[in-house]
Structure 1
Amino acid sequence: MRISIWPGAGQPYGDVLEVARHAAETGWDGVWFADHFMPNAGTGADPEHPVLECGSVVAALGAAVPRIRIGTLVYGNTYRHPAVLANMAATVDQITQGRFTLGVGAGWQINEHQQYGLELPPTGKLIDRFVEALHVLRGLLREPRTTVHGEYYTVTDAICEPKPVQSPLPILIGAKGEKRMLRVVAEHADMWNTWGTPDVIAHKSAVLDRHCAEVERDPKSIARTAQAVTVVDGPLPESGMPAIGGTPSKLAAAIEEYRAAGLDELIVPDRALGAGADRFKAMDAVLGLVRG
């Protein structure tokens, strides 16, 4: 099972870079970064707390940090035209020399859309729009020219050059909805991601397997990734987010449960790992439990 770190976007870039470099130097497999412009309203967070922009950060990390894979968790489709995003992804893959994973999702955070005047359609249309975007992305990243004339996006005989170094560049879809979004994963994704404790991941992974069977897709061709708030030694937070650990033994047990559920990659948010030297110590402890 691979292990990756997810530094929070609400911290200074220097701290993000330190976390990524420590991960690369100590044997972690990847670094992921979220695509948001502000904290989610109504969660108790300071609504004006600074948040780093995702595309700029992954490009910077790609240039500054060697070896380790870098990915987005996940780009919100409503924030950028998919043709623009395809060019961004291809360029970052060039910068990293083939170490980038393009994580995408339908989009959801209400206050970002309200403040920036971005349309956030009802769920059904939001997913329809996302599926169209996936056709644009896959075409531009993998084909010489792409034509899509849809309800939401139109590209005509379009190019995206240079292409990514990877052929194909892996596309990860963030999805938890069992009826439609996991079906989209089965049809379009190379990788899947969602939040969840091991039991939740095992259940949703089984649902994804059923969708794969219906679309005649080998379920093993879709890598499974997941995350939960990770605590090495201390009380689990009461934020309502999925959380694992609390003691090293409980964290080790959760890791083994993920492994038994067929998880390919565990992603560890750094929000509950402390700061400075304490964070590095916690990261080393988590890595040791996974490598075991």
Structure 2
Amino acid sequence: MRLSIWPGAAQSFAEVLEVTRHAEATGWDGVWFADHFMPNAEPGEDDTHPVLECGSVVAALAAAVPRVRVGTLVYGMTYRHPAVLANMAATVDRISDGRFVFGVGAGWQVNEHEQYGIELPPLKQRIDRFEEALHVLKGLLRTPRTTYEGSYYRVEDAVCEPKPVQQPLPLMIGAKGEKRMLRVVAEHADEWNCWGRPELIAHKSAVLDEHCAAVGRDPATIARTAQALTVVDGPLPDLDRPVIGGSRAQLADDVAAYAELGLDELIVPDAYLGTGDDRRKAMDVILGIVRGG
């Protein structure tokens, strides 16, 4: 099972780089970065905390850190035309010499769309647009020229050069919806990502297998990735997001449960790992547990 770190976007690039370099030096497999422009604040809450832009950060990490995989978790499709996004992805894969993982999702954060005047359609339309965008992305990244005409996107005899180093460039889709989005994963994705503790990931993975059977896809061709907030040697926060760990013994049990269900990659957000030396020590503990050391 691969192990990757997910530095929060609300810290300085120096801190992101420090975390990533420590991960690379100690044997982690990858680093992921989220695609947001501001905190997910409700009306009246503070939305002014700085947030780093994803595309710029993954390009910088691809150049600065030479071994680990670098991925987006995940690019929101509503923010950029898919043809523009395809060129961004191909360039980062070139910068990394073939270590980029192109994570995409349908988009969701309300305040970003409201403040920037970007349309956030109702869910059905958003997924319709996302499916069209995937056709554009895959065409541009994997074929010499692409012509596609849908209800939302149109490209004509379009090129995207240079192509990624990797052929195909791994396409990861972040999805949890069991009726449509996991079917989209079955039809298009090389990798799938979802928030969740092991029991939820096992359930969603079984649903994905059913969609693979329906579309004639070998489920083993889709890598399964997941994340949960991770605590090392501390109390678990009372949150509505999935959390693993607490004690080292409990973290080991959680990691073993992920491994038992066949998870290909565990992604660890750094939000509850502390800072500086404390964070590095927590990362070392997690690495030792995952690697059985």
| TM-score, with structure 2 as normaliser | 0.98
Task: Kindly report which structure 2 residues correspond to 1:145-164, keeping only aligned pairs within 5 A, or say none.
Answer: 145-164=145-164
Distance in 2 (CA, whole Å) between partners of 1:122 and 1:114 is 14
| 8 Å Cα contact 1:39-1:45 kept in structure 2 | no
What's the offset of the Cα at 1:262? 1.1
Matched residue SS, 1:155: strand
Query: Cα distance, 1:45 vs. partner?
Result: 6.8
Relative to 1, partners in 2 of residues 1:7 and 1:45: Cα closer, same or farther, differing over 3 Å?
A: farther
Map Cα deviations across residues 175-220 of structure 1 (whole Å, 9 max, x no partner). 0000000000000000000100000000000000000000000000
Look up the SS of the partner of 1:266 in the other structure.
Answer: strand
Aligned length: 292
Task: Return the alpha-carbon distance in structure 2 between the equivalents of residues 42 and 240 of structure 1.
Answer: 16
- Post-superposition Cα deviations, 1:119-149, rounded to whole Å, max 9, x if no partner, equal 0000000000000000000000000000110
Match of 1:271 in 2: 271
Q: Which amino acid aligns with 2:246?
A: G
Cα RMSD (Å): 1.0
Verify the 8 A CA contact 2:42 2:111 in the aligned structure 1.
Answer: no
- The match for 2:280 is 280
The one-character-per-residue Cα deviations of 1:9-30 (angstroms, maximum 9, x if unpaired) are 0000000000000001100000
One-letter amino acid matched to 2:189: A
**Aligned residue identity for 2:76:** G
How far, CA to CA, are the matches of 1:233 and 1:211 in structure 2?
Answer: 39
In structure 2, give the amino acid aligned to 1:16: V
- Where does structure 1 lack aligned partners over 5 or more consecutive residues? none
* Residue 46 of structure 1, CA deviation: 3.2
Q: 2:49 maps to which residue?
A: 49
Q: What is the CA–CA distance in structure 1 between the aligned matches of 2:271 and 2:231, rounded to whole Å?
A: 9
1:168 correspondence with 2:150:
no
State the TM-score, normalized to the length of structure 1.
0.99
Q: Hey, what's the Cα distance between the residues in 2 that align with 1:132 and 1:176?
A: 19
Question: Is 1:212–2:217 an aligned residue pair?
Answer: no
State the percentage of identical aligned residues.
73
What does 1:137-152 correspond to in 2, within 5 Å? 137-152=137-152
Which aligned segments of 4 or more residues in structure 1 are displaced greater than 6 angstroms? none
Q: Is the 8 A contact 1:252 1:289 kept in 2?
A: yes
Q: CA deviation at 1:238?
A: 1.2
Query: Aligned equivalents of 1:43 and 1:61: distance in 2?
Result: 33
